[in-house]
Structure 1
Amino acid sequence: MKKQSILITGCSHGGIGYATAAHLKELGHRVFASARKQKDVDALNSEGFETYLIDVTNYQSIDDALDDILAKTGGTLDIVFNNAGYGQAGAIEDIETKFLKEQFETNVFGLHYLTTKAMKIMRKQGYGKIIQHSSVLGLVSMKYRGAYNASKYAIEGLTDTMRLELQGSNIFITSLNTGPVTSKFRENSIKTIKNVDYENSAHKNNYDRILVRQNKPIPFNEPALSVAKVVEKIINTNKPKPRYYITKATWIMSIFKRILSTKTLDKVLAKY
């Protein structure tokens, strides 16, 4: 197995990025693990990772990290895993435009910036792989996740287009459509309800129910390692698939999306 260099964003403890970084490091790959907060970078450093403080909304932090990585590797970078992101909770009517913008700044614009920078590096070296962390919510929409839904649909559109534009370049871009995975994502998403006018919302009762069941088990939940192993598979594949469905929930929803009418699918999704 060829040892490769990989930059992963969003590697704070308890998440998919961390699980993937740890798994690939254990396999002997050269992992550049990044996080937005210094305390998370320090924790990664203590475990022997090569680390970077990257806030994907701060483009200079991306540029600085890439410059340093290229200096260390002799000018090459094999793989980028765009994993950083969060979910702004709340009904669309309750989310102020500024919070929708913040959702896109992190999940879409930051991802786009790093992706285009990586593409320039990979075109110069003549190869590379870019992995975009999308979601089952890039395939179907669910209530009170509208901002996140929109950001993941945007990622799907960007990734599909770039895949076409990269044909024949020996650079492969692929989408990971994850479903429920054990991480701090859900916990962090629930916290963002503070950004909506909770008490005066027409959806207050539903928000209350969401908060009550936040600690209850999620059906079809899988460990973060399941994502890490798919990333490993992509690394070891000469020509990765355009997208990978991870968790049973994603597979089920992808099938529903194909076979059900919009009206019927809405009835199914309205239950969640």
Structure 2
Amino acid sequence: MTRSILITGCSSGIGHDAAHGLARAGWRVFATCRAEADCARLRDEGLESFALDYTDAASIRTALDEALSRTGGTLDALFNNGAFGCPGAVEDLPTDALREIFETNLFGYHELTRLVIPVMRAQGHGRIVNCSSVLGLVPLHWRGAYVATKFALEGLTDVLRLEMADTAIKVILIEPGPITSKIRVNSIPHFERWVNWQESPRRAQYESTLLKRLYEKRGPDRFELPASAVTAKLIRALEADRPAPRYFVTTPTYLMNIARRILPTSALDALIRRG
């Protein structure tokens, strides 16, 4: 039987490449996006697509029900991928900005995962793959909101993996970064909505660093890989007989995973500050 997977955040980047890559690999892919216009575009590309908004519990339930109705009640895998960034210094981030990003980057993952687990229990197997980041392993300037959600996702996923060890449900983390995507461009509206950088004591730092990164055209980051690199690791995670708890993508994720384990915190901080 054809294996099925529900993927979130498929409008671009990692999710878009994963949806097409898994379809080519023979999976039945349910490629979801927050906006219906993006879903229509994916349907034109030959994918099965419908809306799923992580901030709307009814939308999450409706999307899962739609996938299950198309498979006769089964789902082999879930790839929680949709997320966004809200850059800015921690001292300049309103708490409501954190609440908003956690709704998508963590609470939505949790809501969907809790709905999927009973389906996988009933069928006797399943894989839940959560897309984290190198910023779920180590911190970085200006990324406090995003880092907080990914650190939380790491912890929640680790606990779920331990708890699911007595079942046939495998829980896995993918650790990308940096990957070619629109996440930087897509973060600009959130930055403009929430961060009053003009009145910040760090205004000069914003002007010399973050604003240039957000608004100026630039080439790829050092070590950046295309989204297909994530898809390759995702396929390994889904198809391995005994999947690893974590799959690292790009050189920085490997290096930072080692560095956080062997370096004192002060030395790791110094390494990150040097870039």
Structure 1 vs Structure 2 CA RMSD: 1.2
- Partner of 1:142: helix, strand, or coil? coil
TM-score normalized with structure 2 length = 0.95
- Report the AA paired with residue 255 of structure 2: I
Partner Cα separation in structure 2 for residue 48 and residue 107 of structure 1:
27
- Partner of 1:129: helix, strand, or coil? strand
The answer to whether the Cα contact below 8 Å between 1:88 and 1:193 also exists between their aligned partners in 2 is yes
Alpha-carbon offset, residue 138 of structure 1:
0.8
Q: 2:249 aligned with 1:257, yes or no?
A: no
The corresponding residue for 1:176 is: 174
Alpha-carbon offset, residue 188 of structure 1:
1.6
Partner Cα separation in structure 1 for residue 189 and residue 258 of structure 2:
31
The answer to whether the Cα contact below 8 Å between 2:87 and 2:143 also exists between their aligned partners in 1 is yes
Partner Cα separation in structure 1 for residue 122 and residue 80 of structure 2:
20
- Partner of 2:111: helix, strand, or coil? helix
Alpha-carbon offset, residue 168 of structure 1:
2.3
Q: Which moved more, 1:204-213 or 1:79-88?
A: 204-213
- Partner of 1:174: helix, strand, or coil? strand
Partner Cα separation in structure 2 for residue 75 and residue 192 of structure 1:
37
Encode CA deviations 1:117-148: one digit per residue, 9 max, x unaligned: 11111011110000000011111111110111
Match of 1:224 among 223, 227, 235: 227
Query: What percent of counterpart residues are identical?
Result: 44
- Report the AA paired with residue 183 of structure 1: S
Q: Aligned residues, how many?
A: 270
- Partner of 1:167: helix, strand, or coil? helix
Q: Which moved more, 1:251-260 or 1:211-220?
A: 211-220
The answer to whether the Cα contact below 8 Å between 2:237 and 2:247 also exists between their aligned partners in 1 is no
- Partner of 2:118: helix, strand, or coil? helix
The corresponding residue for 2:243 is: 240
Structure 1: where are the runs of 5+ without partners?
none
Partner Cα separation in structure 1 for residue 253 and residue 116 of structure 2:
28
Alpha-carbon offset, residue 160 of structure 1:
0.5
Alpha-carbon offset, residue 24 of structure 1:
0.8
The corresponding residue for 1:3 is: 2
The answer to whether the Cα contact below 8 Å between 1:94 and 1:201 also exists between their aligned partners in 2 is yes
The answer to whether the Cα contact below 8 Å between 2:126 and 2:169 also exists between their aligned partners in 1 is yes
The corresponding residue for 1:12 is: 11
Alpha-carbon offset, residue 170 of structure 1:
0.7
- Partner of 2:6: helix, strand, or coil? strand
The answer to whether the Cα contact below 8 Å between 1:190 and 1:211 also exists between their aligned partners in 2 is no
The corresponding residue for 2:196 is: 197
- Partner of 1:240: helix, strand, or coil? coil
Higher helix share: 2
Partner Cα separation in structure 2 for residue 74 and residue 21 of structure 1:
21
Alpha-carbon offset, residue 67 of structure 1:
1.3
The corresponding residue for 2:131 is: 133
Partner Cα separation in structure 1 for residue 211 and residue 141 of structure 2:
14
The corresponding residue for 2:39 is: 41
Alpha-carbon offset, residue 193 of structure 1:
2.1
- Partner of 2:198: helix, strand, or coil? coil
Structure 2: where are the runs of 5+ without partners?
none
Alpha-carbon offset, residue 210 of structure 1:
2.0
Partner Cα separation in structure 2 for residue 185 and residue 112 of structure 1:
21
- Report the AA paired with residue 49 of structure 1: L
- Partner of 2:129: helix, strand, or coil? strand
Partner Cα separation in structure 2 for residue 202 and residue 176 of structure 1:
36
Alpha-carbon offset, residue 3 of structure 1:
3.2
Q: Which moved more, 1:208-217 or 1:77-86?
A: 208-217
